[in-house]
Structure formats: structure tokens, C-alpha cells
């Protein structure tokens, strides 16, 4: 006999997952339904409507891909890249790098346009490169969780569309915590994850596909090299106006949880939710400045849900993080790439984006310093 696992609850203030509300937890624990059960199909339809609202889009093809954010990333590339296609990726952190590596794996001719970590991307350079190479897809990360930068999206669709490209945006850490308006931005391919500002556990990747991208998908000459993520196959299950057919078993309880989480987002209202994230991040910065911490990102470029903080000179960041976890049950994330060893990634995401949590984190940090 083995013992059941009951984890000690911790305050998850790192780059994700974040904590979830009691309502979401209760929804996850409901008795499962069959994935073709009419009640479940109705729920899935509601989830699609709610996702369109949070993504700011009318895109018919908007649904949760089974899998974490990386499954969403892979979905938006595997269905649109054929070997030899040119893909332009703006890189200013880990997730742009991952997009480019995935494009390589799919046989794309990938162009990496690199920008300093902690900065936004330079639109003029992006426009110049797009003109030079005429890519099929331009990829940008809207919320770079490795650096805490929120990428402004205005003008990017013009660059893409004027050069015959689709615009792809990673919205994993922006959806539900920062402005995301796919239609106003002209984004063609977007993906997110449930475990950040939506405050649902990891396991689903909401995606949205513009009509233009659907058209490009139908022009493929080669089969999609993934069965699980093939849009054509998945549409037989999640598409509307046709009889649902089995493709893979939808993770039904995760969909229950996502539905509850999206209801909470809409009940609060997106502008109020963004403002709550803004205030929590601002409070954290105000509270840790006197402790010798410095925000890495300029005020105007900050991703409210994820604040990168440079530690005071000489601080042993790994040892302090371990103490936060062991002594206070508070999790924060370490820095990545050039920020490793000197920077923390502090997430105040979804239900965790409160003044109270900002204060708690600051006082726990003061205690371990
Ligand atoms: N993109 C961004 C911006 C992320 O922050 C993450 C995860 O942290 C991912 C993609 C990948 O998501 P996941 O780890 O859920 O697969």
C-alpha cells in the first residue's frame, strides 16, 4: 500500500504555475463526463466563446489544445510550416529561442533576429528583415517570461501582412493579465497556457487561428507531421457545424477547470484584472527597492504578471530562493540565460496578483536577506 499524496500548499510566486481559486479546484474534482457527451460538448462550446472574449477575437478557430503552453507553440508551427518555408523569429529571451528551435526541427529556413534580453524588439529592424527574406511566418513573444518584457504589438501585423507573412504571438504569460487583442493587433496565430494569469493548473494551451491562417493551412502540400496536433484532424472534434468525431480523448476535467477559470476572468472583467496585475507588480517593486533589489525592465516595457528583479550585489540567489521555499513556503523563479545567478523572476499572476501577496513576498524576502 502506498500513501496518497497531499502536497503542502505553497504560495506560487514564480514564473508559473500560479495558485488556483477554490472554484477552479472544485471544478477539476467533478465527476468526469464522456468527451462526446452532449453536456460536455456544450461546455466545450462555452469555453470556445469565453476564450474568444479573453483573446479579443472573433476567430472561429479558437479552442484549448490538449497539453501545456509548449503544445500550443508546437500547434501553431507544425500546422503552418512545411520543409523549406522561411520563418522569421524575433528573439529577446528563452521563448523566442524555443520558437526558432522548433521551426528548425520542422525543416524551416529559420532567421533569428536577436535583441538584448530585457528590451522590446525593434520594429524597424523587424520590418527590414521581413522585406529582405519574405517569410511565411513572423514570430514574436508578447509576454517574455524569461525577462519580464511585454512586447507592444502595434505595427507588427502591417510588417507581416505587407510582406505576405502570418503574424504569430506567444501570449502564454499575457493572456488574462495584460492587454491581448488579437483582432485589433492583426495576429493570425496565437497560443497561451492555462497555468499563468488564467489561474488554472498546467495542462491546456488555448489557441486562436485567424481566417487568413486557416486559408494558408488548407494550401499545405504535405501532410502535417503530427497526428495529435493536426488542425484538420482536431477540427473534426472541436469544429462547429458538424457531427463530432473522436480524434483524441479531451482532458475533460481540465476543461471543467478552464471553464471555471474563464468565468472568473469574465466576472472580474478584463480591464479590472489587468489593473489588478499592474497594481500588484508596482507594489512589489516599491516594497523591494529599499531592500536593494532593482527592476530589470524599464517601467514602460514591464509585463505586470512577471517582474524580474536584480538581487543586491553579492546575494546568493539560489540559497535565498531555497530559504524562501523552505522557511516561508513561497516559490519564486531564478533567472535564465544572462540573468542566471543575479535575477529573480517573481510572478503575481491570476488570483495571486494582489497587494497582499506583493507585501507577503517583500516581507519574506526581507526575512531571508
Ligand atoms: N511561452 C512562454 C512565454 C512561457 O512562459 C512558457 C512557459 O513558461 C511557454 C511558452 C511554455 O509553456 P509550458 O511550460 O506550459 O509548456
Q: List alpha helices for the chain, DSSP H.
A: 22-28, 38-55, 69-78, 94-105, 123-133, 156-162, 182-185, 211-218, 231-238, 252-268, 270-288, 317-328, 355-368
Phi then psi for residue 75, to 5 deg, are -60, -45
* Within a domain: 74: yes
User: What are the grid coordinates assigned to 200, written together?
Assistant: 488554472
Q: What 8-state DSSP symbol labels residue 175?
A: B
The residue to mutate among 14, 67, 70, having the most atoms of ligand 1 within 8 angstroms of its beta carbon, is 70
* Within a domain: 333: yes
Ligand 1 centroid distance, CA of 39 (Å): 31
Q: Which residues line ligand 1 (CB under 6 A)?
A: 15-16, 68-70, 73, 95, 141, 143, 145, 170, 172-173, 193, 202
Q: What 8-state DSSP symbol labels residue 360?
A: H
Listing DSSP states for 13-80 in one string gives -SSSPPP--HHHHHHHTSPP--TT-HHHHHHHHHHHHHHHHHHT---SEEEEEES-HHHHHHHHHHTT
Ligand 1 centroid distance, CA of 27 (Å): 24
User: What are the grid coordinates assigned to 23, written together?
Assistant: 472554484
Task: State if pTM tops 0.85.
Answer: yes
Decide: 89 and 96 in contact? Cβ < 8 Å: yes
* Within a domain: 1: no
Q: Which of 244, 265, 286 is the last residue of a domain?
A: 265
Asked whether residue 248 falls in the same domain as residue 275, the answer is no
| CATH code, 315 | 3.90.1150.10
Domain housing 332: 11-15+270-368
Report the C-alpha gap between 355 and 39 in whole angstroms.
39
Ligand 1 centroid distance, CA of 165 (Å): 24
- Dihedral of CA 78/34/55/98: which sign? negative
* Within a domain: 314: yes
Per-residue pLDDT of the chain (369 residues; tens, 9 = 90+): 678 898 899 999 999 999 999 999 999 999 999 999 999 999 999 999 999 999 999 999 999 999 999 999 999 999 999 999 999 999 999 999 999 999 999 999 999 999 999 999 999 999 999 999 999 999 999 999 999 999 999 999 999 999 999 999 999 999 999 999 999 999 999 999 999 999 999 999 999 999 999 999 999 999 999 999 999 999 999 987 668 889 999 999 999 999 999 999 999 999 999 999 999 999 999 999 999 999 999 999 999 999 999 999 999 999 999 999 999 999 999 999 999 999 999 999 999 999 999 999 999 999 999
Q: Which residues contact residue 143 at a Cβ distance below 8 angstroms, ignoring those fewer than 6 apart?
A: 149, 150, 151, 170, 171, 172, 173, 174, 177, 178, 303, 305, 306
Asked whether residue 191 falls in the same domain as residue 286, the answer is no
Decide: 306 and 259 in contact? Cβ < 8 Å: no
Which of ligand 1's atoms lies nearest the C-alpha of 144?
Answer: 3
The number of domains in the chain is 2
**Ligand 1: residue whose CA is nearest its atom 12:** 69
Asked whether residue 158 falls in the same domain as residue 216, the answer is yes
* Within a domain: 3: no
The residue to mutate among 64, 95, 149, 308, having the most atoms of ligand 1 within 8 angstroms of its beta carbon, is 95
Asked whether residue 139 falls in the same domain as residue 76, the answer is yes
**Ligand 1: residue whose CA is nearest its atom 5:** 145
Torsion of CA 179, 309, 70, 137, to 10 degrees: 60
Ligand 1 centroid distance, CA of 335 (Å): 15
Contacts 24+ apart (CB under 8 A), 126-132: 126/88, 126/90, 126/156, 126/159, 127/159, 129/88, 130/88, 130/159, 130/160, 130/162, 130/163, 130/165, 131/163
Closest among 52, 81, 121 to 262, alpha carbons compared: 52
**Ligand 1: residue whose CA is nearest its atom 9:** 69
* Within a domain: 80: yes
Ligand 1 centroid distance, CA of 229 (Å): 17
Q: Which of 235, 265, 295 is the last residue of a domain?
A: 265
* Within a domain: 104: yes
The residue to mutate among 140, 193, 307, having the most atoms of ligand 1 within 8 angstroms of its beta carbon, is 193
**Ligand 1: residue whose CA is nearest its atom 7:** 69
Amino acid at each position: 500500500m502506498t500513501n496518497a499524496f497531499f502536497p503542502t500548499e505553497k504560495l506560487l510566486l514564480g514564473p508559473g504555475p500560479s495558485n488556483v481559486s477554490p472554484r477552479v479546484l472544485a471544478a477539476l474534482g467533478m465527476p468526469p463526463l464522456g468527451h462526446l457527451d452532449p453536456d460536455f460538448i456544450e461546455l466545450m462550446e462555452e469555453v470556445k466563446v469565453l476564450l474568444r472574449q479573453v483573446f479579443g477575437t472573433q476567430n472561429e478557430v479558437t479552442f484549448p489544445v490538449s497539453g501545456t503552453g509548449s503544445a500550443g507553440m508546437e500547434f501553431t508551427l507544425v500546422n503552418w510550416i512545411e520543409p523549406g518555408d522561411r520563418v522569421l523569429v524575433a528573439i529577446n529571451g528563452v521563448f523566442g529561442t524555443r520558437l526558432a528551435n522548433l521551426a528548425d526541427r520542422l525543416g524551416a529556413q529559420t532567421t533569428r533576429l536577436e535583441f538584448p534580453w530585457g528590451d522590446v524588439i525593434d520594429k524597424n529592424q523587424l520590418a527590414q528583415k521581413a522585406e529582405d527574406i519574405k517569410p511565411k511566418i513572423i514570430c514574436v513573444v508578447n509576454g517574455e517570461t524569461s525577462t519580464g518584457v511585454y512586447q507592444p504589438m502595434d505595427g507588427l501585423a502591417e510588417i507581416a501582412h505587407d510582406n505576405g507573412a502570418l503574424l504569430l504571438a506567444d501570449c502564454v504569460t499575457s493572456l488574462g493579465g495584460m492587454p491581448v487583442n488579437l483582432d485589433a493587433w492583426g495576429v493570425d496565430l496565437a497560443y497561451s497556457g492555462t497555468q499563468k494569469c488564467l489561474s488554472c493548473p498546467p495542462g491546456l494551451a488555448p489557441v486562436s487561428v485567424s481566417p487568413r491562417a486557416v486559408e494558408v493551412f488548407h494550401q499545405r502540400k504535405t501532410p502535417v507531421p503530427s497526428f495529435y496536433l493536426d488542425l484538420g484532424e482536431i477540427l473534426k472534434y472541436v469544429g462547429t457545424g458538424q457531427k463530432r468525431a473522436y480524434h483524441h480523448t479531451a482532458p475533460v476535467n481540465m476543461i471543467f477547470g478552464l471553464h471555471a477559470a474563464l468565468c472568473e476572468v469574465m466576472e472580474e472583467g478584463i480591464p479590472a484584472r489587468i489593473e489588478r496585475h499592474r497594481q500588484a507588480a508596482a507594489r512589489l517593486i516599491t516594497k523591494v527597492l529599499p531592500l536593494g533589489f532593482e527592476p530589470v525592465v524599464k517601467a514602460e516595457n514591464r509585463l505586470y504578471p512577471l517582474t524580474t528583479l536584480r538581487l543586491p550585489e553579492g546575494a546568493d540567489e539560489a540559497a535565498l530562493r531555497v530559504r524562501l521555499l523552505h522557511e516561508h513556503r513561497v516559490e519564486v523563479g531564478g533567472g535564465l540565460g544572462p540573468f542566471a545567478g543575479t535575477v529573480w523572476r517573481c510572478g503575481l499572476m491570476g488570483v495571486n496578483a494582489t497587494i497582499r501577496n506583493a507585501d507577503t513576498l517583500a516581507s519574506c524576502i526581507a526575512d531571508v536577506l
